[in-house]
Amino acid sequence: KMAESAIFQSFLSCPVCAGTLKDPVSLSCSHNFCASCLHRFWQESGSKNCPVCRRRSSKESLSVNYTLKGLADSFAGRQAPEPSPWLQPEQKLIVVCSIHPDDPKYFCKDEQRAVCHMCEFTLHQNHKVVPIDQAINELKVLLRSDLKSLQDKRNLNMQAEKAYSDMAEHLKIQVLTTESQIRAEFSKLHQFLKEEEESRLAALRKEEEQKGLTINRFLSRIQEQISLLTDSIYAIEEDLRKTVLPFLSTYKATQSKARSQRSLPDPQVIPGVLVDVAKHLGNLSFRVWEKMKGKALFSPVILDPNTAHPSLYLSDDLTGVKCGETWQQLPDNPERNIKYANVFGSEGYSSGKHSWEVMVGDHPDWIIGLVKESFDRKRETFASAKFGVLVLVHRGGKYSNGAGKAVTVRRNLQRIRIHLDYEGGEVSFYNCEDRSLVCSHRDTFTEKLFPYFCIGKAGETSKLDTLVLLNGTALLGSVC
What mean pLDDT, rounded, does the chain reach? 84
**Beta pairing class for 473-477 and 353-359:** parallel
**Tens of pLDDT, residues 282-323:** 999 999 999 988 877 778 899 999 999 999 999 888 888 888
- The predicted model gives 209-229 an average pLDDT of 93
The fold of 1-76 is Herpes Virus-1 (3.30.40)
Instruction: Describe the crossing of helices 284-295 and 132-240 by its angle, rounded to 10 degrees.
Output: 130
Compare 10 and 242 and report the one with higher pLDDT. Answer: 242
**Tens of pLDDT, residues 226-279:** 998 999 899 989 988 888 888 888 888 988 888 888 888 888 888 999 999 999
Maximum average pLDDT range among 46-55, 110-119, 126-135, 181-190: 181-190
pLDDT band at 475 (very low <50, low <70, confident <90, very high): very low
Compute the distance between CA of residue 215 and CA of residue 208 in angstroms, rounded to an integer.
10
Residues 6+ apart with CB under 8 A from 339: 377, 378, 379, 380, 381
pLDDT at residue 476 is higher than 50: no
| Superfamily of chain region 305-470 | SPRY domain (2.60.120.920)
**218's torsion region: left (phi>0), alpha (psi -120 to 50) or beta?**
alpha
- The predicted model gives 357-361 an average pLDDT of 85
Compute the distance between CA of residue 437 and CA of residue 417 in angstroms, rounded to an integer.
9
Residues 6+ apart with CB under 8 A from 296: none
Residue pair 342/475 in contact (Cβ under 8 Å)? The answer is no
Residue pair 14/32 in contact (Cβ under 8 Å)? The answer is yes
User: Hey, is 414 helix, strand or coil?
Assistant: coil
CA 373 to chain centre: 13
**Tens of pLDDT, residues 390-449:** 999 999 889 999 888 899 998 889 889 999 999 999 999 999 888 999 999 999 999 999
Residues 6+ apart with CB under 8 A from 364: 394, 395, 396, 397, 456, 458, 459, 461, 462
pLDDT band at 154 (very low <50, low <70, confident <90, very high): very high
- The predicted model gives 203-214 an average pLDDT of 95
Report yes or no on whether pTM surpasses 0.75. Answer: no
Contacts of 431-434 with C-beta under 8 Å, sequence gap 24+, read 432/357
Compare 37 and 118 and report the one with higher pLDDT. Answer: 37
Q: Which of 439, 474, 430, 436 is nearest to 455 (CA)?
A: 474
Compute the distance between CA of residue 471 and CA of residue 301 in angstroms, rounded to an integer.
10
